[in-house]
Structure 1
Amino acid sequence: MEIYDRIGTSYNKTRKADLHIASLSEENLCLKLERASLLDVGAGTGNYSHFFSSKGHHVTAVEPSGIMMAQAAENTNIKWIKGSAEEIPLPTSSFDGIISILASHHFNDLEKAILEMNRILKPKHFAVIFAGDPSIVSKQSWLFDYFQIVFEKSVSTYLPIHDFKSMIERVTKANVKIIDYLLPDHLTDYFFASAWKNPTLYLNETFRAGISPLASLETSTLNQILERLENDLKNGVWFKKYGSILEEDSFDGGYRFLVWQKN
């Protein structure tokens, strides 16, 4: 979690709960109560916790980074626990739903974290994980062209989505549904591929500061990438090669929902 201790102080400048991602998460939780008890694992600064709290739900947010937690806005309807996904000090079968948004790739022991989440979830209730799989992203995309080293490093960090699905099914004995999520061009949560239609954003230091794979990249390597991108945007090379993407409504950045109901 060192990376989030480093970027936590500016995280909320660019990382906001995206309404569509949050709404799809809510939809797949299939909540039957107006005031459900929800667990947000790897909650960061609590952006998605606040979304669910605003709907009247009682949210418990688990986050290992104290600096990230310190950035969270005060909310009496959110209970914070400083801790890891692998060891959550909460009772078995005590929550109506569990979410984890773009956090699972930071878990130290993914299998143990899934076991723990499933333990805490009430029977017949749902867990929703929103995760990325960089191996899905087209190698013909401009993002892969300029940020190839980011994708190569991420492949060793992110479990391929179908392997992730199989692992959850194995440890929970539940069926897992994968839901494809093509990125629209109006995201408000600025994660890595969110600016797929706005390449100039990657030249913005504030934008990059909230994205862990960019914030952790070696400075000289990052500068080389940015110099090439900036030059190609100025001289028209980028537009000549990739400008057609500006006519697209969505992009497959490798992001997927994983949903299961506890037996």
Structure 2
Amino acid sequence: MATYNSIGATYADTRRPDPRIAARIHQALGGATTVINVGAGTGSYEPSHTVLAVEPSSVMIAQRPAGSAPALEASAESIPVAEDSADAAMAILTVHHWNDLEAGIGELLRIARQRIVVLTFDPDINHKFWLLEEYLPEAAAFDNTRAVAVDRLAMLLGGARIETVPIPHDCTDGFLAAFWRRPEAYLDPEVRAGISLFAQTSDAVIQPGLARLSDDLSSGRWHQRHADLFGRDALDAGYRLLVADL
């Protein structure tokens, strides 16, 4: 919670839900008529039939739009609602922040009647993203300490369908790999403020890599090295949607 109370202040500006990713999440929720969003943040990707948002950070809750589902300030590991409280539970880009993954997944299984939908990332693929591999390998090493293997997550869910979620080149949700074709964005402090990897890694680790990126952009080296990216509309940066039927 402390992390997001300190870094979440710009989320409503830099982490606007992308409609294409939203469509994938809402499709995965299937016929659920009631949904609980766990690790809900500012409410990104919540369908209209969300009945409750669970979020530990008061800063994030304060940025939820008017008319959003009621929010409960609580952690994923201990959700004070009854068993089978909703048709579905969803957890969007949050499981890698949980202190106790097993307890959090246990709570999703307890509160959902029919389905659980989790958007996460495969660290084996995500950490090969050019920003991490070429400029911030030390930050990627830190990220490995909290990343969750997709196979492990599927196992904890009791089995899950795993779907690839390609990231569009103009993604409006400013998570880590959203700017894969817009590298200049990573030099913007406001953009970085909405990406937990930057906020949780010291400047001493981050700044040398960003200086190299700035130099490579100025010289044209980055564009020469990654010219192939400009022929793509979307990139598989390791983001995965897990859908578990109960």
Q: Among the aligned pairs, what percent are the same residue? A: 35
* Number of positions where the alignment pairs a residue of Structure 1 with one of Structure 2: 246
The CA distance in 1 between the partners of 2:57 and 2:165, in whole Å, is 28
Q: Give the corresponding residue for 2:170.
A: 186
Q: Deviations over 1:95-120 (max 9, x none)?
A: 01111110111111111111111111
Q: Is the 8 A contact 2:85 2:111 kept in 1?
A: yes
The CA distance in 2 between the partners of 1:8 and 1:79, in whole Å, is 19
Q: Give the corresponding residue for 2:38.
A: 41
Q: Give the corresponding residue for 2:13.
A: 13
Q: 1:16 corresponds to which letter in structure 2?
A: R
TM-score (norm 1): 0.89
Within a 5 Å distance, the mapping from 1:153-168 to structure 2 comes to 153-168=142-157
Q: 1:155 corresponds to which letter in structure 2?
A: N
Q: Give the corresponding residue for 1:89.
A: 80
Give the 3 Å change call, closer, same or farther, for CA 46–241 of structure 1 in structure 2: same
Give the 3 Å change call, closer, same or farther, for CA 184–140 of structure 1 in structure 2: closer
Give the 3 Å change call, closer, same or farther, for CA 233–112 of structure 1 in structure 2: same
Within a 5 Å distance, the mapping from 1:192-207 to structure 2 comes to 192-207=176-191
Give the 3 Å change call, closer, same or farther, for CA 138–87 of structure 1 in structure 2: closer
Q: Give the corresponding residue for 1:4.
A: 4
The CA distance in 1 between the partners of 2:80 and 2:189, in whole Å, is 37
1:66 aligns with 2:58: yes
Give the 3 Å change call, closer, same or farther, for CA 28–205 of structure 1 in structure 2: same
Q: Give the corresponding residue for 1:141.
A: 130
Query: Secondary structure, in 3 states, of the residue corresponding to 1:47?
Result: coil
Q: Give the corresponding residue for 2:97.
A: 106
The CA distance in 2 between the partners of 1:12 and 1:194, in whole Å, is 16
Within a 5 Å distance, the mapping from 1:216-255 to structure 2 comes to 216-255=200-239
Q: Is the 8 A contact 1:41 1:100 kept in 2?
A: yes
Q: Give the corresponding residue for 2:109.
A: 118
The CA distance in 1 between the partners of 2:140 and 2:235, in whole Å, is 16
The CA distance in 1 between the partners of 2:132 and 2:105, in whole Å, is 30
Q: Is the 8 A contact 1:95 1:120 kept in 2?
A: yes
* Superposed displacement of residue 142, structure 1: 5.0
Q: Is the 8 A contact 1:183 1:253 kept in 2?
A: yes
Q: Deviations over 1:53-99 (max 9, x none)?
A: 2xxx1430000011111111221x51110001111111111201111
Q: Is the 8 A contact 2:164 2:239 kept in 1?
A: yes
Give the 3 Å change call, closer, same or farther, for CA 242–43 of structure 1 in structure 2: same
Q: Is the 8 A contact 1:39 1:61 kept in 2?
A: yes
Query: Secondary structure, in 3 states, of the residue corresponding to 1:93?
Result: coil
Q: Is the 8 A contact 1:142 1:242 kept in 2?
A: no
Q: Deviations over 1:192-211 (max 9, x none)?
A: 01101110000111111100
RMSD: 1.6
Q: 2:110 corresponds to which letter in structure 1?
A: R
Q: Deviations over 1:156-209 (max 9, x none)?
A: 21111112212222xxxxx31111112121211110011011100001111111
Runs of 4+ in 1 over 6 A off after TM superposition: none
